[in-house]
């Protein structure tokens, strides 16, 4: 039996639901496993007792695990941790003519950032505030404020336009 344990729980994010792959000798078996669930691999020949077996786990939003263990008991606990996919929001802010805006404040409940001369910003989000979507409040003097909720998509910048007041 292999039990998956989420070592970075966050009530706002789903627990892992991924694929476990056990390799012994020339054979590989795969099972679906989520947090606090057990995957049962049956029929492992007795001659593998005391041998090193390979175990891999992949789940969206979690760091991949690729490890070996010695088959010497009935249960393995596999700790998994979230990756940093939801730890950063990047983007660009422009005016209604498409010109980049410097000095725009982008704020969340936990943190804020200012745009640079090219209108670019980066928000680094602490783990406890990570969500699959985030509310952003955008302010700059002389422009209409804006509040949006945007999905957090790794590597995909948010592009926003502010209207002059």
Q: What is the pLDDT of residues 142-161, one digit of tens each?
A: 999 999 999 999 999 999 99
Please compute the mean of the pLDDT values over residues 86-114 and round it to a whole number: 96
CA nearest neighbour of 124 among 149, 97, 152? 152
> Which residues touch 22 (CB under 8 Å, ≥6 apart)?
2, 28, 29, 30, 31, 41, 44, 53, 54, 55
Out of 37-41, 82-86, 103-107, least confident range:
37-41
Res. 34 pLDDT band, cuts 50 70 90: confident
| Residue 56 pLDDT | 96
The string of pLDDT tens digits covering residues 90-101 is: 999 999 999 999
Find, among 159, 142, 153, 131, the residue nearest to 14 by Cα. 131
More confident residue, 50 or 161: 161
pLDDT at 67: 95
pTM above 0.85, yes or no: no
Phi, psi of 84 (to 5 degrees): -100, 25
Does residue 86 have a pLDDT over 90? yes
**Predicted local confidence at residue 9, as pLDDT:** 80
Identify the pLDDT of residue 23: 95
- Taking all residues of the chain, what is their mean pLDDT, rounded to a whole number? 92
Query: Cα 111–117–98 angle (5° rounding)?
Result: 100
107, 87 contact by CB (below 8 A):
no
């Amino acid at each position: 039996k292999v039990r998956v344990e989420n070592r970075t729980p966050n009530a706002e994010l789903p627990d892992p639901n991924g694929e476990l792959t056990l390799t012994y000798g020339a054979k590989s078996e795969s099972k679906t496993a989520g947090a606090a669930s057990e995957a049962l691999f049956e029929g492992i020949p007795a001659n593998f007792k005391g041998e090193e077996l390979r175990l891999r786990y992949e789940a969206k939003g979690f760091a991949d695990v690729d490890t070996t263990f010695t088959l010497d008991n009935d249960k393995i606990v596999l700790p998994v941790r979230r990756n940093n996919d939801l730890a950063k929001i990047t983007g660009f802010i422009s005016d209604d003519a498409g010109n980049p805006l410097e000095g725009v404040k982008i704020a969340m409940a936990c943190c804020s950032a200012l745009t640079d001369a090219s209108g670019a910003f980066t928000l680094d989000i602490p783990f406890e505030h990570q969500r699959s979507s985030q509310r952003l409040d955008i302010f700059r003097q002389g422009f209409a404020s804006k509040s949006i909720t945007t999905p957090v998509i790794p590597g995909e910048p948010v592009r926003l336009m502010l209207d002059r007041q």
